[in-house]
A and B are shown apart, each in its own frame.
Chain A
Amino acid sequence: MKTRIFLMFIAPSLALMLIFIALPLGYVFAQSFYSTSQEFETVQVLSCTPGFTGQTCVTESRSRPKLDAHGQPVLTTSFVGLQAYRELLQPDAIAKAREAGSSLLDAILSVDFYAALRFTLTFTLVTLPLVISLGLAIALAVNAAAKSLRGVLIFASLLPFIITPVIGALSIRWLFQGDGILTATLRAITHSHLSMFAQGWTIELLMMTYRVWHAAPFAFVVFYAGLQTVDQDTMESAIVDGASRLERLRSIIIPHLVPLIVFIALIHLMDTYRVFEEIIGFSSQAYRISLQFLTYSFLNPDQTGNRAITRASASSMLTMVGIVLLLIPLIRRTWKTHRVRR
């Protein structure tokens, strides 16, 4: 295909990606160094109140938003350098907390950004092996099930994957909320007055459970497709050689699935790093927040109606650096295999 024709086919898609992905990215980067704020002016106001002997007059200075000729507030944009990043990372606050005698870890985690980073990374890295092993287990089990049952099994398995994430998280939350039936069951088993939403770690546990439930079907479907292409001749000779089930799994099936494991890991890291819906669904913001939620909360108007755009930009940039670092090994691998194929 000639380059000119190729460009014609790809142009609309490329234009969309450049305008709506690359351009905003550059814009956010620039925006993180500039702050836009309303301009205030100080005015002297003379206010008088009638009194017994005459008027009591007080002159006080008040600050009020400056308005332009159309009555709109005057906005100024100024270069603030790394100020937004400093506000996020708060090196001073950490130093102060250290002096006050708290441990380094506590001091760091008391800052929103680090708490969000800690949660996001733990969440991503803990769910990854769980999703892969559960997905593989389901794939092996479905592959061993009777053919007539497989369609129904796949249908049931797809439900947690297809469901709107916020709703999925909510549906699990409702089972545990208050005297929800699963909390009641847990209480009966452990003979304790457990409450799943009263402390951070139980919420975190529920969020991870939800994510494994939600993401395992994807791993399952991919592994299940991979299992259909296992070389049957190799399998038969292994059986003739007397290899046990476990040995066959370890030395034939798993090596065959390695590229798929890498693929699932790649997608899972991308999707889990942007954990956000769980925070909304479980209303966990008082205990646990994620990096995406941090940016989201800056973008939402606060009580005075202002959006902290500069700080949101800085936290976006830091979030992006994180995912790039996390993915470099996997993207390099994809890059190499593709270069070899071409």
Chain B
Amino acid sequence: MNELAKPIWLKGLTAAFLAAWVIAAMFPLLWTAIMSFRVPLDALSADPLTVLAGPATLSAGKGLTAADIGLTLAALAAIAWLAFHGAAKQAALTALACLIAIPLLAPWLDHALNLPPILGLTLEYYKAVWIDHEFYRNFENSLIITAGVVTVSLTVGTLAGYGLARAASKLAFWILILALIFRALPHSVLVTGYLPAFLDSRTLLAPLWNAPILGSLLHLFSNEPPTLYGQPLAIIIVLVSINQPFTIWIMRSFFDGIPIELDEAARVDGCTHIEAFWRTIMPVMWPGVITTGLFSFLLAYNDYLVTSLLLDAQSQTMVPAITQFLNRDTSASDQIQAIAAAVSITAPLFFLVMAFQRQIVSGLTAGAVKG
């Protein structure tokens, strides 16, 4: 396309448009991150320079010294250099390492050099969120649920995706169409079905516990049928199922890209279908598995509707838990706490994009380009 030189106005327009988009894409997130380190007087100011410099935060005696800023800038430069040279994973790792090392190193350096703070910054709202409001409990719940969803989703989805990609039958086709329709269902429709059953599961599951053989097996786990409402483990299976239509579509399109000759060669060598799947296909399937795992993670991590309705306050995950800071929104410092909680939820996603950018892109296009 570059045979003809572009007119200069078009080049300028493209560059301006791209710059505008990049700013629009990053600005809300960066600005929120800056606000979370300021006292309310600075953070909620209408003057952008006040938000950036944080004079009130500084006069409260909290701030960064020249050495802190120097360290941070050096770290950012290193990360950007790595990112620009295509070493995204190293960049993400360096970022993580700096996140741990700088807060440890900086106070010692400041003390040694005896520097005064020059830029306002405070961590007190993060402390309030994570320690006073026990946000780490929500973090634990999120961790359990996302880990469970990714593991189960991948196990079940990989098998189904392989089956669907290799079967040319009518049945496979209809299952895919059915999955497409299921994919379209608003989640509230399904939760309406789960909620009464979850609240009442002790009665509903009683016949299983009283059944002759299965019952005695189930008694090994608990003496009574559980109440599923408020159980993170029950949410895992719900989220896996809701995500299953998407998982099998994306998995199938990845398996479609692996030549069937590979299976056939293994079969000629005397493998069964399952051996062929495990020994020859899975080793080349890892990129697809990682991509699908990422999207399962995002679904579980980002979910609000399902978890807020099916979990109670003790077992709540991070995203629905943020509304507790919003609804209290009475004082300005509550609002900064909400902002700090929001930044805490976003930070892991930021590193995820850094480390797995290529896989995310291939996942987004897998469904589209191949069908």
Q: Are B309 and A296 in contact (CB under 8 A)?
A: yes
Given contacts A14-B160, A159-B353, contact A167 B184 (CB under 8 A): no
Q: Name the CB-closest residue of A to B310.
A: A299
A67 within 8 Å of B by Cβ? no
**In the assembled complex, how far is the CB of residue B225 from the closest CB belonging to chain A, in whole angstroms?**
17
Q: Which of B183, B346, B349, B365 has the most CB of A within 10 A?
A: B365
Q: Which of B26, B35, B157, B368 contacts A174 (CB 8 A)?
A: B35
Given contacts A162-B360, A163-B349, A235-B1, contact A6 B163 (CB under 8 A): yes
Q: Please, which residues of chain A bring their CB within 8 A of the CB of B350?
A: 159
Q: Name the CB-closest residue of A to B298.
A: A162
A158 within 8 Å of B by Cβ? yes
Which B125-143 residues sit within 8 Å CB-CB of chain A?
none
Q: Please, which residues of chain B bring their CB within 8 A of the CB of A217?
A: 25
Q: Which of A6, A151, A283 contacts B84 (CB 8 A)?
A: A151
Q: Please, which residues of chain A bring their CB within 8 A of the CB of B14?
A: 141, 144-145
Q: Please, which residues of chain B bring their CB within 8 A of the CB of A178?
A: 44
Q: Which of A14, A142, A283, A292 contacts B18 (CB 8 A)?
A: A142
Q: For the complex, what is the distance from the CA of A33 to the CA of B277, rounded to whole Å?
A: 47
Q: For the complex, what is the distance from the CA of A214 to the CA of B157, rounded to whole Å?
A: 27
Q: Please, which residues of chain B bring their CB within 8 A of the CB of A126?
A: none
Q: Please, which residues of chain B bring their CB within 8 A of the CB of A180?
A: 44, 46
Contact with B along A270-292 (1 / 0, CB 8 A): 10011011001001000000011
Q: Are B242 and A20 in contact (CB under 8 A)?
A: yes
A312 within 8 Å of B by Cβ? yes
A154 within 8 Å of B by Cβ? yes
Q: Are B156 and A31 in contact (CB under 8 A)?
A: no
Given contacts A142-B18, A239-B4, contact A316 B188 (CB under 8 A): yes
Q: For the complex, what is the distance from the CA of A1 to the CA of B171, rounded to whole Å?
A: 12
B65 within 8 Å of A by Cβ? no
B112 within 8 Å of A by Cβ? no
A331 within 8 Å of B by Cβ? yes
Q: Are B166 and A1 in contact (CB under 8 A)?
A: yes
A43 within 8 Å of B by Cβ? no
Q: Which of B45, B193, B277, B369 contacts A23 (CB 8 A)?
A: B193
Given contacts A213-B24, A222-B368, contact A28 B192 (CB under 8 A): yes
Interface of A is mostly: helix
B209 within 8 Å of A by Cβ? no
Q: Are B193 and A28 in contact (CB under 8 A)?
A: yes
B282 within 8 Å of A by Cβ? no
Q: For the complex, what is the distance from the CA of A320 to the CA of B188, rounded to whole Å?
A: 10
Q: Are A3 and B169 in contact (CB under 8 A)?
A: yes
Which A130-185 residues sit within 8 Å CB-CB of chain B?
137-138, 141-142, 144-145, 148, 151-160, 162-168, 170-172, 174-175, 178-181, 183-184
**In the assembled complex, how far is the CB of residue B334 from the closest CB belonging to chain A, in whole angstroms?**
13
A50 within 8 Å of B by Cβ? no
Number of B residues whose C-beta is below 8 Å from A? 106
A198 within 8 Å of B by Cβ? no
Q: Which of A5, A12, A137, A213 contacts B25 (CB 8 A)?
A: A213
Q: Are B31 and A9 in contact (CB under 8 A)?
A: no
A309 within 8 Å of B by Cβ? yes
**In the assembled complex, how far is the CB of residue B68 from the closest CB belonging to chain A, in whole angstroms?**
25
B102 within 8 Å of A by Cβ? no
Q: For the complex, what is the distance from the CA of A165 to the CA of B187, rounded to whole Å?
A: 15
**In the assembled complex, how far is the CB of residue A216 from the closest CB belonging to chain B, in whole angstroms?**
9
Q: For the complex, what is the distance from the CA of A31 to the CA of B192, rounded to whole Å?
A: 9
Q: Please, which residues of chain A bring their CB within 8 A of the CB of B167?
A: 1, 3, 6
Q: Which of B192, B194, B196, B369 has the most CB of A within 10 A?
A: B192
Given A162-B352, A296-B309, output 17 extra A-B contacts at Cβ < 8 Å.
A3-B171, A6-B166, A13-B244, A16-B241, A17-B178, A20-B237, A155-B357, A181-B31, A222-B365, A222-B369, A264-B368, A270-B183, A292-B305, A299-B191, A316-B186, A334-B177, A337-B371
Q: Give the 10 A-B CB pairs with smallest separation, nearest first.
A: A24-B193, A9-B163, A20-B241, A13-B160, A184-B46, A225-B365, A274-B186, A295-B188, A179-B46, A316-B189
| 17 A-B pairs whose Cβ atoms sit less than 8 Å apart in the complex | A1-B166, A6-B163, A13-B156, A21-B185, A151-B84, A154-B357, A158-B353, A163-B346, A163-B349, A221-B361, A222-B369, A225-B365, A267-B367, A270-B183, A273-B186, A312-B192, A324-B181
Q: Which residues of A contact B (CB under 8 A)?
A: 1, 3, 5-6, 8-10, 12-14, 16-17, 19-25, 27-28, 31, 137-138, 141-142, 144-145, 148, 151-160, 162-168, 170-172, 174-175, 178-181, 183-184, 213, 217-218, 221-222, 225-226, 229, 235-236, 239, 245, 259-260, 263-264, 267, 270, 273-274, 276-277, 280, 283, 291-292, 295-296, 299-300, 307, 309, 312-313, 316-317, 319-320, 323-324, 327, 331, 334-335, 337-339, 341-342
